[in-house]
Amino acid sequence: MNTRLNRNKWEPYLWLLPSMLLIAVFVVFPILIVFKLSFSYISQGGVIGGFIGFQNYVDAVKLPAFKTVMLNTMWWVISVVGLSTLLGFIIAMVLNQKFRGRKIARSILVFPWATSLVIQASVWNYIIKYEYGNLNNVLLNLGIIQQAINWRSSYQIEFIWECAVGIFVTVPFVTFCVLSGLQSIDGSLYEAATMDGAGFWGKLRHVTLPMVRPSLTVSTVLNIIYVFNSFPIVYTMTKGAPAHKTDTMITYLYMLSFYERKKGPATALSVIGFLILCVCAGVYMIGVMRKEDEQ
Amino acid sequence: MRSPEMKSQNRRALLFLLLGLALALILMSLPLFSFEAQVYTKKSANTFVGDEKYVAAKAEAEAVAEEYRAQGFSVSLSEDVLERVNSKGKTTSLVTFTLSQSYGKNLFSLLGQGFAASKLTAALLLCLGLSAALAAAGLVGSGDLLPRYLDGRSRALRGAACVTALLALLLVPVILMMNTYAFSRQMGLHNAGLLEEGRALFFSRMDRLLFDGQMGENIEQVLSGLKYHCSGLAWLLLPAICIILLSAIQIRFGAIKGTLLRGLLYFFVVVVCLVTLYPYYVMLITAFRSNAETLDMYFLHMFPTKWIWSNLTDIVRRGVPRYLLNSLFVAGGATAIAMLCGIPAAYAMARMQFKGKKAFLGFVIMSQMFSPVVLLIGISQLMNTLHLNDSIVGLMLINAAFNQAFAVWLLRGTFVSISPEMEQAALIDGCGTMGALTRVLIPMAAPGIVTALIFVFINAWNEYTISTVLISTASNRPITVGITQFSSFNMIEWQYLFAASLLATIPVVILFMSIEKHLTAGLTSGGVKG
Tell me the CA end-to-end span of chain A in Å, nearest whole number.
18
List residues bridging with B37 in a β-sheet. B101
Residue A236 has pLDDT above 50, yes or no: yes
Q: Could you tell me the pLDDT band of residue B530, with boundaries at 50, 70 and 90? A: very low
Residue B367 makes CB contacts below 8 A (sequence gap 6+) with: A23, A27, A28, B401, B402, B404, B405
Q: Using CA atoms, how far apart are residues A218 and A237, in angstroms rounded to an integer?
A: 29
Q: In whole numbers, what is the pLDDT of chain A averaged over residues?
A: 84
Q: Which of A26, A111, A222 sits opposite B527 (nearest CB)?
A: A222
Domains and CATH numbers, chain A: 68-294 (1.10.3720.10)
Q: Using CA atoms, how far apart are residues A145 and B464, in angstroms rounded to an integer?
A: 37
| Structure confidence at residue B336 (pLDDT) | 95
Instruction: Verify whether the Cβ–Cβ distance A223 to B529 is below 8 Å.
Output: yes
Residue B231 makes CB contacts below 8 A (sequence gap 6+) with: B30, B31, B32, B33, B34
Instruction: Verify whether the Cβ–Cβ distance A126 to B363 is below 8 Å.
Output: no
Of the candidates A274, A22, A215, the residue with the CA atom closest to the CA atom of residue B408:
A22
Strand bridging mode B33-43 / A48-51: unpaired
The percent of residues above 90 in pLDDT, for chain B, comes to 14
**Which residue is closest to B494 within chain A, CA to CA?**
A126
The answer to whether residues B104 and B33 touch, using CB atoms and an 8 Å cutoff, is yes
Instruction: Verify whether the Cβ–Cβ distance B375 to A31 is below 8 Å.
Output: yes
Instruction: Verify whether the Cβ–Cβ distance A26 to B401 is below 8 Å.
Output: yes
Residue B443 has pLDDT above 70, yes or no: yes
Q: Which of A16, A114, A232 sits opposite B464 (nearest CB)?
A: A232
Chain A interface, best mutation among B347, B376, B437, B472, by max A CB count within 10 A: B376
Q: What is the domain partition of chain B in residue ranges?
A: 4-19+112-254, 36-105, 310-526
Greater confidence (B113 vs B526) lies with B113
Residue B326 has pLDDT above 90, yes or no: yes
Name the least confident of A107-111, B339-343, B348-352.
B348-352
Of the candidates B395, B378, B400, B510, the residue with the CA atom closest to the CA atom of residue B464:
B395
Q: Could you tell me the pLDDT band of residue B143, with boundaries at 50, 70 and 90? A: low
Greater confidence (B50 vs A246) lies with A246
Instruction: Report helix angle A11-23 to B357-369, nearest 10.
Output: 10
Residue B142 has pLDDT above 60, yes or no: no
Name the least confident of A162-166, B343-347, B435-439.
B435-439
Q: Using CA atoms, how far apart are residues B440 and B339, in angstroms rounded to an integer?
A: 17
| Structure confidence at residue A85 (pLDDT) | 94
Instruction: Verify whether the Cβ–Cβ distance B483 to A118 is below 8 Å.
Output: yes
The answer to whether residues B445 and B516 touch, using CB atoms and an 8 Å cutoff, is no
Average pLDDT in the B501-508 region? 91
Average pLDDT in the B351-373 region? 79
Sort residue A247 into left (φ over 0), alpha (ψ -120 to 50) or beta.
Answer: beta
| Structure confidence at residue B272 (pLDDT) | 93
Average pLDDT in the B500-514 region? 89
Q: Which of A27, A115, A222 sits opposite B509 (nearest CB)?
A: A115
Q: How many CB pairs lie under 8 A apart between chains A and B? A: 300
Instruction: Verify whether the Cβ–Cβ distance A132 to B294 is below 8 Å.
Output: yes
Instruction: Verify whether the Cβ–Cβ distance A250 to B427 is below 8 Å.
Output: no
Average pLDDT in the B27-43 region? 80
Q: Could you tell me the pLDDT band of residue B6, with boundaries at 50, 70 and 90? A: low
Residue B251 has pLDDT above 60, yes or no: no
Q: Which of A15, A33, A253 sits opposite B382 (nearest CB)?
A: A33
- Residues of chain B contacting residue A219, judged by C-beta atoms under 8 Å apart: 524, 527
Instruction: Verify whether the Cβ–Cβ distance B282 to A126 is below 8 Å.
Output: yes
Name the least confident of A12-16, A233-237, B260-264, B402-406.
B260-264
Q: How far is A123 from chain B (nearest CA, A)?
A: 6
Instruction: Verify whether the Cβ–Cβ distance B351 to A285 is below 8 Å.
Output: no
| Structure confidence at residue B144 (pLDDT) | 53
pTM to 2 decimal places: 0.78
Q: How far is B485 from chain A (nearest CA, A)?
A: 12
**Which residue is closest to A250 within chain B, CA to CA?**
B374
Strand bridging mode B91-105 / B33-43: antiparallel
Residue A212 has pLDDT above 70, yes or no: yes
Average pLDDT in the A17-40 region? 89
- Residues of chain A contacting residue B282, judged by C-beta atoms under 8 Å apart: 123, 126-127, 134
B310-526 maps to CATH 1.10.645.10? no
| Structure confidence at residue A1 (pLDDT) | 43
Residue B456 has pLDDT above 70, yes or no: yes
Residue B230 has pLDDT above 70, yes or no: yes
- Residues of chain B contacting residue A111, judged by C-beta atoms under 8 Å apart: 276-277, 280, 509
| Structure confidence at residue A120 (pLDDT) | 93
Instruction: Verify whether the Cβ–Cβ distance B279 to A110 is below 8 Å.
Output: no
| Structure confidence at residue B186 (pLDDT) | 75
Residue B140 has pLDDT above 70, yes or no: no
Instruction: Verify whether the Cβ–Cβ distance B297 to A274 is below 8 Å.
Output: no
Q: In whole numbers, what is the pLDDT of chain B averaged over residues?
A: 80
- Residues of chain A contacting residue B299, judged by C-beta atoms under 8 Å apart: 132, 137
Q: How far is A183 from chain B (nearest CA, A)?
A: 9
Average pLDDT in the B43-56 region? 72
Instruction: Verify whether the Cβ–Cβ distance B369 to A99 is below 8 Å.
Output: no
Chain B interface, best mutation among A7, A21, A103, A116, by max B CB count within 10 A: A116
Q: Could you tell me the pLDDT band of residue B267, with boundaries at 50, 70 and 90? A: confident
- Residues of chain A contacting residue B408, judged by C-beta atoms under 8 Å apart: 19
Residue A11 has pLDDT above 50, yes or no: yes
| Structure confidence at residue A2 (pLDDT) | 46
Instruction: Verify whether the Cβ–Cβ distance A107 to B379 is below 8 Å.
Output: no
Q: Could you tell me the pLDDT band of residue B5, with boundaries at 50, 70 and 90? A: low
Name the least confident of A20-29, B179-188, B460-469.
B179-188
Greater confidence (B49 vs B227) lies with B227
| Structure confidence at residue B77 (pLDDT) | 78
The percent of residues above 70 in pLDDT, for chain A, comes to 92
Instruction: Verify whether the Cβ–Cβ distance A30 to B378 is below 8 Å.
Output: yes
Instruction: Verify whether the Cβ–Cβ distance A6 to B353 is below 8 Å.
Output: yes
State the complex-level ipTM. 0.89
| Structure confidence at residue B529 (pLDDT) | 35
Q: What is the DSSP string of B3-69?
A: -HHHHHHHHHHHHHHHHHHHHHHHHHHS--EEEEEEEEEEE--SB-TTSHHHHHHHHHHHHHHHHHH
| Structure confidence at residue B8 (pLDDT) | 66
**Which residue is closest to A217 within chain B, CA to CA?**
B524
Average pLDDT in the B44-68 region? 77
| Structure confidence at residue B505 (pLDDT) | 92
| Structure confidence at residue B212 (pLDDT) | 76
